[in-house]
Amino acid sequence: MSGKQQLIEKLGDRSAVIGVVGLGYVGLPLCVRCVDAGYRVIGFDTDPEKITALLENRSYIEHIDLGNLLPAGERFHPTGDFSQCTETDVIVLCVPTPLNAHRQPDLSYVIGSVNAVAPYLHPGHVVSLESTTYPGTTEEEVRPLLEKPNFRCGEDFFLVYSPEREDPANPEFTTRTIPKIVGGSSPACLEIGRAFYGNIVDEVVPVSSTQTAEMAKILENTYRAVNVALVNELKLVADAMGIDIFEVIRAAATKPFGFTAFYPGPGLGGHCIPIDPFYLTWKAHSCNIATKFIELAGEINTQMPDYVVSKIMEALNDRGKAVRGAKVLVLGAAYKKNVDDVRESPSLVIIEQLLTLGAEVSYADPHVQRIPKMRKHDLAMESVRISPEILAACDCVLVATDHDRFDWRMIARHAPLIVDSRGVYPSGMANLYRA
């Protein structure tokens, strides 16, 4: 029996061991799903605090139900020791792919994780990259680090690209129910990829190459980024005309065909949407292709925090108050509602700008008790508890994230001035400004 067929059988009878590198918002739910599907899983991460938390049966991501992972033990083992990769049959890489200071792809986490697992691969091993990246990464960056003269891709080991499609805190779509795109470096790699993911998700969508799979994920995120940029720009136009853009979108959304509703906000956040289109523009430039449309969308979305701050200044000025010395309460640090994820959150940019302008800034977020130190931000702030007294003492309250756990009626009753960037409140309120 060939090594490929042996591996397919091990995947089928659940005797294969799955390794997941990167125990964050993508890797951790994947671990949960693999354990639920009957596999033994080893989770790898370089952050000792994550390993300790899991060994102590503590979840560090609010919306992820650890389920059968806890108590950690026979079916799941978190570790920082990459030599334990030798015990696995499948290695799935779920590591960040940020941008550097020049908005160019930073593949250091991908390259670092590949180098960490490469010494421990054995014949028949599967490596799957799930990190969002530009088309060609799997073949041009990952494969050369794994392939040796006596260790050939498609024969001795199998390489797959299958982009993550997590939607944090959305109960309608889970790791199991979201269709999984899979591309392989060879027909044999694709066959193995389909066998693995077919055992943990309801639907596998095979494509002809890893580049196609990479491009599909970039398309998904660029599509959203461009459409959000469109409604963000229309928000500026509507505001200048005295029109409520949220009412406009709700009216347009009644059309049963040819229209998909996107909503404006204070800027794009999360690890994917604000970043991934720039991976595509970088790759396109290397092919001498200009991506003016995508880059313009990125510029619009990036400038939205500036617009929100300008609206706060305008609102305060109309009340005879300068931004310097004004007490501003920001509602929401997370990048979207009902999650604890602050990666690339526009709220953090807005807070920093207000602090630079001399405002006294506090924030409230029921999902983010403390803003952690990040690559771009080190605010060292803790969430305040909202009360009528806290609200009344503010000069301005900014709606930055529309969490369901906020008491919006109470906020409206007691806040002297509200700047709403999410369309929570209807237009016409005496103390309301749209942003």
Does position 74 have pLDDT exceeding 80, yes or no? no
The fraction of the chain above a pLDDT of 70, given in percent, is 98
* pLDDT tier for residue 62 given thresholds of 50, 70 and 90: confident
pLDDT digits (tens, 9 = 90+) for 405-430: 999 999 999 999 999 999 999 988 88
d(C-alpha 222, C-alpha 372), whole Å = 28
Could you list the active site residues?
A: 272
**pLDDT digits 0-9 by tens, 229-269:** 999 999 999 999 999 999 999 999 999 999 999 999 999 88
Give the confidence band of 221 by pLDDT, cuts at 50, 70, 90. Answer: very high
Angle at 167 between CA 166 and CA 170, to 5 degrees: 135
Residue 69 has pLDDT above 80, yes or no: no
Helix (H, G, I), strand (E, B) or coil at 289: coil
The answer regarding whether domain 242-434 maps to CATH 2.40.110.10 reads no
Average pLDDT over the chain reads 93
* Residue 147 scores a pLDDT above 80: yes
pTM for the model stands at 0.91
pLDDT at 68: 65
Q: Is residue 55 a contact partner of residue 62, using CB atoms and an 8 Å limit?
A: no
The mean per-residue pLDDT over the stretch 347-373 comes to: 95
Q: What is the mean pLDDT of residues 75-79?
A: 93
pLDDT band of 43, cuts 50, 70, 90: very high
SS3 content of the chain, % helix, strand, coil (to 5): 40, 15, 45
Closest CA to 428 of 235, 244, 154, 186: 244
Answer whether residue 290 shows pLDDT above 70. Answer: yes
- Distance CA(3)–CA(9), nearest Å, equals 10
Neighbours of 428 (CB within 10 A): 7
pLDDT at residue 73 greater than cutoff 80: no
Angle (CA) 18 95 4, round 5°: 35
> Which residues make Cβ contacts (< 8 Å) with residue 287, sequence separation at least 6?
none
Q: What are residue 284's phi and psi, to 5 degrees?
A: -65, -40
The CATH topology of domain 3-214 is Rossmann fold (3.40.50)
**Could you please report the per-residue DSSP string of 76-108?**
EEEES-GGGGGG-SEEEE-----B-TTS-B--H
Cα–Cα distance measured from residue 27 to residue 18, given in angstroms and rounded to the nearest whole number: 12
SS3 383: coil
The helix/strand/coil state of 374 is: coil
CA distance 153 to 142: 11
Q: Which two tokens stand for residue 217?
A: 């994920």
The residue ranges of every structural domain in the chain are 3-214, 242-434
What whole-number distance in Å separates Cα of residue 6 and Cα of residue 1? 7
